[in-house]
């Protein structure tokens, strides 16, 4: 089905007030020289559209592209977006890096409610927090950096989720988890891969793999796992693997 889409333009500083006054949520398309171009699916009294176009009602795509709106110290989010609070501290994991983004997406696709999760190299705790918000059962985030463990605890509190943040090297963990997420580096994977794979109960999400050479090397190290997906962003790769059920191998 086709519907009309109205494209409007307003100076950046006027947009929040305009949306607030008209009780509207807009899809921001472009920001150029202080002007914001945004789309609405209805005409607005008193504001002439720059253009009107006919579009398919592909709501899923529309929802994905929706951008948060800053309103003073507030951020306006539509109900299908979920906020996460991350203190910009000393630990890696603000959510900006492609490897973190790839892991977050893989968690959304693979984590089932109730699963236990180990986040190896938790940094700010962002992936552990996302896991909990997605409905994980027990979540443990480990890191070898004291700064990271402190930030992980602080961010878990900020988001009011029950995440255990522990100072530990992956080689010191002695229990397995349904899902293990590890956003590390190839150098570290080479050192800890045997131990890491032994901690995976069912699903492993691995990121921090850069370029095709590292990807090939990583897939080789992953050996006995079934590869469920390989996704990339800016030449960073994220691999999702499932442990093969040994009982089924004859
Ligand atoms: C790239 S950051 C990932 C941070 C966060 N999980 C994210 O996805 O944004 C990698 C983290 O792994 C930690 N790390 C490195 N080697 C480790 C090891 N052997 N065991 C546990 N954590 C380790 C580092 O201290 C660092 O905080």
Same structural domain, 243 and 124? yes
Tell me, yes or no, whether 56 and 12 share the same domain.
Answer: yes
Residue 83 pLDDT more than 70?
A: yes
pLDDT in tens, 26-35: 888 888 899 9
Which pLDDT value is given to residue 250? Answer: 44
Closest residue to atom 15 of ligand 1, CA basis = 121
Taking residues 162-183, report their average pLDDT: 98
| Domain final position from 41, 76, 111 | 76
Angle 38-39-41 from CA coordinates, rounded to 5°: 155
Q: Are residues 144 and 22 in the same domain?
A: no
Query: Does residue 248 surpass a pLDDT of 70?
Result: no
Q: Which residues line ligand 1 (CB under 6 A)?
A: 91-93, 100, 103, 120-123, 126-127, 142-145, 148, 169-170, 183-184, 188, 192, 208
Cβ(110)–Cβ(135) below 8 Å: no
The verdict on residue 119 lying in a domain is yes
Q: Say if residue 239 is in the same domain as residue 119.
A: yes
In a domain, 179, yes or no: yes
DSSP 7: E
**Does one domain contain both 231 and 150?**
yes
User: How many Cβ atoms are within 10 Å of 204's Cβ, its own excluded?
Assistant: 26
Q: Is residue 226 in some structural domain?
A: yes
Tell whether the torsion through CA atoms of 8, 10, 13 and 14 is positive or negative.
Answer: negative
Find out whether 155 and 132 touch, Cβ atoms under 8 Å: no
State whether 135 and 53 are in the same domain: no
**86 falls within a domain:** no
Determine the pLDDT at residue 247.
Answer: 56
CA distance 77 to 220: 42
**How much is the average pLDDT of 218-222?**
96
Domain's final residue, options 44, 76, 108: 76
- The yes-or-no verdict on residue 140 having pLDDT over 60 is yes
Residues in the chain: 250
In ligand 1, the atom with minimum distance to the C-alpha of 94 is 9
Query: Do 52 and 135 reside in the same domain of the chain?
Result: no
What's the chain's average pLDDT? 92
Q: What is the pLDDT of residue 246?
A: 62
Q: Which residue shows structure tokens 């927090």? A: 129
Residues 41 and 131 in one domain: no
pLDDT band at 105 (very low <50, low <70, confident <90, very high): very high
Same domain for 156 and 109? yes
Q: What is the CATH number of the domain that holds 180?
A: 3.40.50.150
pLDDT tens-digit series, residues 18-72 = 988 888 878 888 888 999 999 898 899 889 999 999 887 777 777 777 778 888 8
Token pair belonging to 159: 């988001």
- What is each CA distance from 128 to 10, 117, 145, 155, in whole angstroms? 39, 8, 16, 10
Range with the lowest mean pLDDT among 55-69, 88-102, 117-131?
55-69
Are 156 and 228 part of one and the same domain? yes
What single string gives the DSSP state of each residue in 178-221?
A: EEEEEE--HHHHHHHHHHHHHTEEEEEEEEEEEHHHHHHHHHHH
Residue 71 and residue 137: Cα distance in Å, rounded? 35
pLDDT of residue 154: 97
**Paired tokens of 116:** 């236990």
Tokens of 20: 């607030």
How far is ligand 1, taken at its centre, from the CA of residue 112, in Å? 23
> How many percent of the chain have pLDDT more than 70?
98
* Residue 81 maps to a domain: no
What phi and psi, each to the nearest 5 degrees, are found at residue 242? Answer: -120, 135
Tell whether 62 and 163 lie within a shared domain: no
- The total number of structural domains that make up the chain: 2
Residues 6+ apart with CB under 8 A from 16: 69, 70, 71, 72, 76
Asked if residue 89 belongs to a domain, the reply is no
Domain assignment present for residue 243? The answer is: yes
Tokens coding 96: 């900006």
Q: Do 42 and 113 lie in a common domain?
A: no
Residue 127 lies in a domain: yes
Domain that holds residue 134: 98-248
């Amino acid at each position: 089905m086709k519907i009309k889409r109205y494209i409007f333009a307003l100076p950046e500083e006027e947009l929040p007030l305009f949306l607030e006054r008209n009780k509207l949520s807009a899809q921001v398309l472009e920001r150029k020289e202080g002007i914001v171009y945004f789309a609405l699916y209805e005409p607005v009294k008193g504001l002439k559209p720059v253009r009107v176009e006919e579009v398919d009602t592909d709501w899923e795509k529309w929802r994905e592209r929706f951008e948060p709106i800053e309103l003073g110290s507030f951020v306006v989010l539509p109900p299908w977006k979920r906020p996460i609070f991350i203190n910009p501290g000393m630990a890696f994991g603000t959510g900006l890096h492609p490897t973190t983004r790839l892991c977050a997406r893989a968690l959304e696709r693979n984590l089932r409610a109730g699963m236990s999760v180990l986040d190896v190299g938790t940094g700010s705790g962002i992936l552990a927090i996302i896991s909990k918000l997605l409905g994980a059962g027990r979540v443990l985030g480990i890191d070898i950096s004291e700064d990271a463990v402190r930030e992980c605890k602080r961010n878990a509190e900020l988001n009011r989720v029950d995440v255990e943040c522990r100072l530990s090297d992956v080689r010191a963990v002695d229990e397995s988890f349904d899902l293990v997420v590890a956003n590390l580096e190839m150098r570290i994977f080479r050192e800890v891969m045997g131990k890491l794979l032994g901690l995976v109960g069912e699903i492993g999400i691995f990121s921090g793999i850069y370029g095709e050479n590292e990807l090939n090397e990583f897939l080789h190290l992953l050996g006995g796992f079934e590869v469920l997906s390989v996704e990339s962003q800016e030449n960073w790769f994220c691999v999702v693997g499932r442990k093969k059920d040994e009982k089924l191998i004859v």
